[in-house]
């Protein structure tokens, strides 16, 4: 992808959403796209919710331990302030952001930025998660990734919670979740 310009030289932005279950490679794909943008000499800024401290406080880190420096933010509105003259804005774990994340992405696009958002499209119950459904609705490009079901080996789209903790948001990784297909998630 590239930064599109119209005949008057005005930059045009767009939204790319990378979604899927845990362990499907969402963050890995986000990092890959952001690193390619850097290779193309585009100015890249990356943000994640300040509450996501699973692997690192200041980096976006995939389950495979690939990482890229990022800025943790408490509220989505801070992203507009910090993005400045970035050509490409990456946002990880979008489902954990406040309700303003959709408007933030729209504002960034109207400023001519390519916005790449990664997040869980469904929670552990298989229900739409946070503002991800709305982001998917306004996205210009969507990539849905799948993990492999640990029970049967089919494509997995559910982040099955293995712990007894309650609440929609329980930060964790392999200690709390495993990828499962629809059938195995109901067993």
Q: Which positions are catalytic?
A: 93
DSSP state of 102: H
DSSP state of 112: T
Q: Which residues face 72 on adjacent strands?
A: 48
HSE-up of residue 178 (Cα within 13 Å, Cβ side): 11
Residue linked to tokens 């559910």: 158
Residue 110's CB is within 10 A of a number of other CB atoms, namely 10
Residue linked to tokens 């709305």: 134
Question: Distances in Å between the alpha carbon of 21 and those of 3, 99, 108?
Answer: 29, 21, 26
Find out whether 87 and 114 touch, Cβ atoms under 8 Å.
yes
CA distance linking residue 139 with residue 106, whole number of Å: 10
């Amino acid at each position: 992808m590239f930064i599109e310009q119209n005949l008057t030289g005005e930059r045009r932005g767009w939204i790319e959403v990378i979604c899927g279950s845990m362990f499907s490679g969402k963050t890995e794909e986000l990092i890959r796209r952001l690193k390619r943008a850097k290779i193309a000499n585009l100015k890249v800024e990356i943000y994640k919710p300040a509450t996501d401290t699973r692997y690192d406080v200041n980096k976006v880190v995939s389950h495979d331990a690939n990482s890229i420096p990022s800025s943790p933010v408490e509220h989505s509105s801070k992203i507009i302030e910090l993005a400045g003259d970035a050509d490409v804005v990456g946002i990880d774990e979008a489902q954990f952001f406040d309700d303003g994340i959709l408007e933030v992405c729209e504002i960034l696009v109207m400023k001519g930025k390519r916005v790449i958002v990664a997040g869980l499209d469904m929670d552990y119950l298989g229900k739409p998660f946070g503002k991800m459904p709305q982001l998917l609705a306004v996205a210009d490009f969507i990539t849905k990734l799948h993990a492999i079901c640990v029970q049967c080996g089919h494509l997995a789209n559910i982040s099955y919670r293995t712990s007894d903790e309650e609440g929609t948001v329980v930060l964790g990784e392999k200690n709390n979740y495993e990828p499962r297909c629809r059938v195995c998630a109901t067993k």
